[in-house]
Amino acid sequence: MVDILLSTFNGRSYLPDLLKSLQSQTFTDWRLIVRDDGSTDETLSMLKHFKETHPKKIIIVDEKIKNLGPMRSFEKLMEYSSAEYIMFCDQDDVWLPHKIEESLACIQQLEQNNPHKAALVFSDLEVVDEQLNTISSSFWNYSKVNPDNVYNCYRLLINNPAPGCTFIMNKKVKPLVLPFPEQARMHDWWIVLKVAESGVIDYLKKPGLLYRQHKKNKVGAEAIKNTYLLSRMASFSLTIKRNKESWQMMKCLSNKYSLLKLFYYKLRISLAKLL
């Protein structure tokens, strides 16, 4: 059994595409666990209709507390999950038909070699526009981020190549990452950092989903262009803020990490994006 965790908020425009893509999965032993974070549109009624037509495929977590934001909402969903494997899902994405099947095969192979470890597998994404037209066939190429960053925690603190919507993880990850600390920039970033440090990670080089970009994205793909350095200089306060957040996450992870070394990797990665 695979639990697919979904936090929704005013997702009426995109939710039908996502639900249809889940129904088209080649692996069928899954259930969708949804927590709505206070939608004011028809999102909740759409989910309830899906439950009426597919009662064994969806659990709607009924909570009075709303507007927790993505990180705390996914924290609640992880606490609710009881399956052997967990995947995250974003309301505006479209899963490719073999996503669960291929992710599951990869993580089970990883577990065979590391039977007592927390394990996580992620994949590339195909970046698309609001109408699902391809912007880039590879999120990693588009954003100039190296998936091998997950094998170096300094690099991972600066550039996360693994959005949560690409994850599959075993249930051993739960006690390793919960509860999410206040210092975590995002839940998915914190999870991959903790598993990189104490568990095992692998990745699929092919996209597992269509990563839709639109004006309402909380987090999205960022194209790296020749004006990258200028844009970073123009948003100097944002750069300082992100560096501070990375430093705070680093301290929360462990005291063994060096601030000087973090800055060294930050400089190397920034210069590499200009080439």
Work out the average pLDDT over 210-234. 64
CA distance 104 to 84: 11
- CA separation (Å) from 51 to 8, 44, 56, 57, 127? 15, 11, 8, 7, 30
Dihedral of the alpha carbons of 165, 179, 36, 246, in degrees to the nearest 10: -50
- Cβ atoms 128, 210 nearer than 8 A: yes
Query: 239-250 b/e with 16+ CB inside 10 Å = b?
Result: eeeeeebbbebb
Answering whether pTM is above 0.85, one says: yes
Bridging pattern class, strands 134-136 and 119-128: antiparallel
> What is residue 218's predicted lDDT score, i.e. its pLDDT?
53
**Averaged pLDDT of the chain:** 91
Rounded distance, CA 134 to CA 76, Å?
33
Q: What's the one-letter identity of residue 245?
A: E
Backbone angle region of 120, left / alpha / beta, with phi > 0 → left and psi within -120 to 50 → alpha: beta
Check if the beta carbon of residue 196 is closer than 8 Å to that of residue 151.
yes
pLDDT digits (tens, 9 = 90+) for 185-216: 999 999 999 999 999 999 999 999 999 998 76
* 143-186 per-position pLDDT tens digit: 999 999 999 999 999 999 999 999 999 999 999 999 999 999 99
